[in-house]
Amino acid sequence: MKNTDILTIWKSYDQKLNENLLLNRKNAEDITKIKVRSFLTSMRPLKIFAILAGILWVVFVDTLIVLLFPVASPFFLISAGIQVLLTKLSIGVYLYQWVLIELVDIDEPVLTTQERIAHLQASTLWVIRILFLQLPVWTTFYLTQSLIESGGILFYTLQIGFTAGFTLLSIWLYRNISYENRDKKWFKLIFNGIEWNPIRKSMELLDQIKDYSTVRQ
Amino acid sequence: MTIKPNAQAFLDMIDTHKGIIYKIANSYCKDKENRKDLIQEIIIRLWLAFEKYDPTYKISTWMYTIALNVSISFYRKEHRRHQINHSLPEVIHLYEQTEVDDTHVAIERLQLFIKELKEIDRAVMLLYLEDTSQEEIAQILGITSTNVSTKIYRIKQQLKQKFSTINT
């Protein structure tokens, strides 16, 4: 097969389309009349809501920490402190996504636009990693001095088991949920389902863009 | 209701270049309903960007850039399309030919091989087949002309190999 053969086939395809393709002007005209928002712009309110809800939660927990500081158990204070710190990081990721949404311009070069969109999708993984990192604090925030002093062997075994298990699991997930591990079985198991397709696809695209980026303009 | 003058110009432009929209949408979407949705999405995005269009650029360059950007990033929307079952109105319709000759088979085969390429490679190949200059491809994709020629060479080799497997 020669180059010219491929081009000739494509020319025939072109000719076929010229003869058989019809624009439904009425339906096309309807498009110019409807008020539409782009998919990315439609994501903006969701991100703003997440940021505002996050800020409210942070203010609430921070106030709680300050007000209860003299009387609360150290376990509660440390757990709440870690949780609120991680929430602040999540807000940071949402802010980053918001900036990316503002930067995406559909008439910019394909690789520039696709890289921004793919980063936007893939950064959802950061939020998931941070969410997993919060796991251990949900096993410690309720602990008090009196509960520890009165706890029996069963309490200690379960409490240490849960906290240690959740800590190890959350650190492992935090370190391993990444673009590089997308082909691993456990990764596919967690991110199984049609709703995760955009994230998987965005990772593949980042891979392709990386391949092109070596000689980018 | 009368059509605004810029809407009229937009519709004329879409009519003249409907082939570009169809060919790109068809290369990125196998499913017929999804393809209708993608064609609509491309036209919507072209319409939204139409006011910003700078006439110093070739209209085809501008259209290819937007159509490819929408098609490549369509994966963000595609999974949600499966949950929507209603049929969309068709904007660009292709009257299918009933006769199946050698040319028809060759076109189908070439389209199949193009659809098997990775998304960015597919964009390069489509632009090459559309007789777009290397400088224009570089501008649309945001890469250097040297990179374009290297990529075209590699992708053509891949296609030739695919064709040779059927011919043997």
DSSP calls for A22-80: EE-HHHHHHHHHS----HHHHHHHHHHHHHHHHHHHHHHHHHHHHHHTTTS-HHHHHHH
For A79-109, what is each residue's pLDDT tens digit? Answer: 999 999 999 999 999 999 888 888 888 889 9
Cβ count within 10 A of residue B54: 7
When pLDDT is averaged across residues A158-166 and rounded to a whole number, the result is: 95
Share of chain A above pLDDT 90, in %: 48
What's the CA gap between B88 and B84, in Å, rounded? 10
Instruction: Report which of residues B84 and A175 the model is more confident about.
Output: A175
- What lies within 8 Å, CB to CB, of B9 at 6+ separation is none
Domain contains A87: yes
Q: Which of B61, B95, B129 is the last residue of a domain?
A: B95
- Answer whether B91 sits within 8 Å of A28, measured CB to CB: yes
Higher-confidence position of A96 and B102: A96
Is A93 part of any domain? yes
Is residue A105 assigned to a domain? yes
Is residue A40's pLDDT more than 90?
no
Taking CB atoms and an 8 Å cutoff, what residues of chain A touch B92? 21-24
Structural domain that includes position B8: 1-95
Angle subtended by helix axes B32-50 and B59-72, to nearest 10: 130
| pLDDT at position B32 | 83
Q: Which residue of A has its CA nearest to B153?
A: A3
Q: For chain A, what's the residue count? A: 217
- Three-class SS state of A22: strand
Q: Summarize the confidence of residues A176-204 as an average pLDDT.
A: 83
Q: Which pLDDT score, from 0 to 100, does residue B74 have?
A: 87
On whether residue A32 sits in a domain, the answer given is: no
Query: Same domain for B147 and B91?
Result: no
Mark whether B67 and B108 lie in a shared domain: no
Same domain, B38 and B66: yes
Res B72: pLDDT: 93
Q: Which residue has the higher pLDDT, B79 or B23?
A: B23
Asked if residues B96 and A16 have their Cβ atoms less than 8 Å apart, the reply is: no
Average pLDDT, chain A: 88
- B75 confidence band (pLDDT: 50, 70, 90): confident
Q: B117 or B77, which is more confident?
A: B117
- Counting the structural domains of chain B, the total is 2
CATH number at residue B137: 1.10.10.10
Condensed to tens digits (0 to 9), the pLDDT of residues B17-65 reads 999 999 999 999 988 888 998 999 999 999 989 988 888 889 999 999 9
- Whether residue B105 sits in one domain with residue B63: no
Q: What is the mean pLDDT of residues A8-30?
A: 90
Interface of B with A in 78-97 (CB under 8 A): 78-79, 82, 89-97
pLDDT band of A217, cuts 50, 70, 90 = very low
Q: Are B76 and B157 part of one and the same domain?
A: no
The answer to whether A109 and A162 are in contact (CB under 8 A) is: no
Residue A168 falls inside a structural domain: yes
Residue B1 pLDDT more than 70? Answer: no
Does residue A18 fall inside a structural domain?
no
- Which of B47, B58, B64, B69 would best serve as a mutation to test chain A binding (most A beta carbons within 10 A)? B69
Instruction: Give the nearest partner residue to B10 out of A14, A21, A32, using CB atoms.
Output: A32
Are both B89 and B27 inside the same structural domain?
Answer: yes
**Are both B151 and B88 inside the same structural domain?**
no
Inter-residue contact B57 to B33 (CB < 8 Å): no
Residues B118 and B74 in one domain: no
| Last-in-domain residue among B64, B95, B126 | B95
Facing A110 at nearest CB: one of B72, B95, B110:
B72
> Is the pLDDT assigned to residue B78 strictly greater than 70?
no
B126 & B76 share domain:
no
- Of residues A199 and B65, more confidence is placed in B65
Query: Do B136 and B109 sit in the same domain of this protein?
Result: yes
Is B11 in Cβ contact with A28 (below 8 Å)?
yes
Mean pLDDT, residues A105-119 = 91
> Do B4 and B43 lie in a common domain?
yes
User: At which of B95, B126, B144 does a domain end?
Assistant: B95
Q: Is the pLDDT of residue A5 over 90?
A: no
For residue A11, being part of any structural domain is answered with no
Split into its structural domains, chain A has a count of 1
Q: Is it the case that residue A59 has pLDDT exceeding 80?
A: yes
- What is the pLDDT at residue B164? 85
The amino acid that residue B61 corresponds to is T
| Domain span at A97 | 41-213
Mutate: best of B40, B91, B137, partner A, most A CBs <10 A: B91
Rounded average pLDDT over B78-84: 55
* Contact (CB<8Å) A110/B121: no
B84 pLDDT band, cuts 50/70/90, is low
